[in-house]
Amino acid sequence: MKKVLLGSVAAMALATSTHAADLPQKVFTKAPPAAPASSWTGFYLFGGGGYGLWTADQQTLAHSFFTPPALRAPVQMGGRGYFGTVGGGYDYQFNSSWVAGVFADAQFGDINGTVDYLSGQFVGTTRNKVSYAAGARLGYLVAPNVLSYVNGGYSHAEFSQSTLLPNDGASPTFLLPKQSLDGWFIGGGVEHSLDIFGLNVPGLFMKTEYRLAEYGRKTTGVLALDGTPMLLGDTVSFKPYVQTVSTSLVYRFNDGSSAPRAASTPLYVKAAAAPANWTGFYLSGGGGYALWAADNQPASATNNSFMSERVGGRGYFGTVGGGYDWQVSPKWVAGVFADAQFGDIKGTIYGVPDLFTFGSTSNQLNYAAGVRIGYLVAPNVLSYVNGGYSRADFSAADIRLASDNSPTGYSIPKQSFDGWFIGGGVEHSFDIVGISAPGWFMKTDYRVAEYGRKTTALLLNGAPSGDYTTTFKPYVQTVSTSLVYRFNWDGAKR
């Protein structure tokens, strides 16, 4: 999985930023050779915030006086929330196009979700409050003050202590201690100076960044409420994946705008205007990675007080779509589009609470229709935001006993949800790094979708039972990279 993720994120990040900046619409060519008049080499600090989802593979090892220890069925729980971030680093510009650097940062917030004990018998709330990271990045200068980069490295995450309650909401019974986990992350983003809309703030930059972190599995002993170990020594294993998108302000201490240069040598010269028109139809196709988290509450005909749990899922998907854009001015583009996502973003759903059961459901198909508005940071580079309607289909789930994974005869039928999404991305032609492919573009798109809450009656041997229902409200966060073909692109020759 790591190799696939590294490949897809590298492709994404060199194309991407949700907020990739807003350069004035000028095309620049390099001046005659001279000492660089602008340099990214130096130290920087940054601070900002973002939104994240996590999903965790969890499993209980249960003990008994009369039988050997037994693993309960594995489940996937989830979480979501906001966070802040601070950090710093050092970059080195080793030629006119490439920048490499090292950095460290911290995230602090409340990405909260559910921790599970005995596969739904006891549940509690845990929060990813703090994460630390240290790594390296490699970037390409798509313009003198715009850096598109990929990064990766070490990450450490802390999840708060959980008070475990019976799933019927009775009094607290157990504790699961705070958990600290080590792992790795990959990601990418875009950083640009803030002189984009005519603002001139020397040294001040903005960056938007996507990350996916995977942490090692950790097994933790369940405690009594007073913090003492349990007599039988039950344990819970926990392996989280955390996906985040953030935007930060950056201060670079050696802003290259004041770097010395020969008086007779201009920093850059304006190129001839490039003929470019974004008005027209396009088709797209690609793929990406997603996490979902869902508020899930099962109920029975005689008891509707069972606790709501936050379950989760993760997986890959493909996407196809099309749309129409209007270039409404030299710098602005507006458009409409529709697309579909198809894949296997698989996770857990609960259904028969008083039997301690679970099922597996997959977000297999999503549709979306919406609008986007974008700013041309260059004649062939569009940075945009989008939003609109979304529909998600989750597959049917067979309900099984958590104790031995045996079938119960109960099932949850396929569920369809209506909702909305917001997001953004960047789209550019293939001549951005010297490749010339008229009409062909690449775009990277980030979205978060929220769907309506739905209550579904369970089936027993395929027929309505009237015994149980489950309520499910999903949130889906996706990042994708697609090839785009624009039918009327004139090539934007330089």
Task: For 95-129, write each residue's pLDDT tens digit.
Answer: 988 999 999 999 999 999 999 988 778 899 999 99
Q: How far is CA 229 from the centre of its chain?
A: 37
Contact criterion met (CB below 8 Å) for 488 and 277: yes
Query: pLDDT band at residue 480, thresholds of 50, 70 and 90?
Result: very high
Query: Has residue 98 been placed in a domain?
Result: yes
Query: pLDDT band at residue 139, thresholds of 50, 70 and 90?
Result: very high
Query: Has residue 79 been placed in a domain?
Result: yes
Is residue 85 within a helix (H) or strand (E), and if so which, with residue range?
A: strand 75-93
pLDDT the model gives residue 142: 77
Query: Has residue 492 been placed in a domain?
Result: no
Model confidence, pTM: 0.85
Residue 45 has pLDDT above 60, yes or no: yes
Mean pLDDT of 382-410: 93
pLDDT the model gives residue 434: 63
Query: Has residue 41 been placed in a domain?
Result: yes
Report helix, strand and coil shares of the chain as percent, to nearest 5.
5, 65, 30
Instruction: Look up the domain containing 146 and give its range.
Output: 2-258+268-486
Query: pLDDT band at residue 32, thresholds of 50, 70 and 90?
Result: very low
Instruction: Round to whole Å and give the CA distance between 312 and 114.
Output: 9
Distances from the Cα of 470 to the Cα of 308, 358, 391, angstroms: 10, 11, 19
pLDDT the model gives residue 202: 86
Query: Has residue 75 been placed in a domain?
Result: yes
Query: Has residue 178 been placed in a domain?
Result: yes
| β-strand pairing of 28-30 with 268-270 | antiparallel
Instruction: Round to whole Å and give the CA distance between 73 and 70.
Output: 10
pLDDT the model gives residue 265: 37
Instruction: Round to whole Å and give the CA distance between 111 and 80.
Output: 5
**Structurally, how many domains does the chain consist of?**
1
Distances from the Cα of 1 to the Cα of 76, 185, 213, 267, 391, angstroms: 18, 13, 12, 44, 28
331: which DSSP letter? Answer: S
228: which DSSP letter? Answer: P
Residue 274 has pLDDT above 80, yes or no: no
Query: Has residue 450 been placed in a domain?
Result: yes
Query: Has residue 279 been placed in a domain?
Result: yes
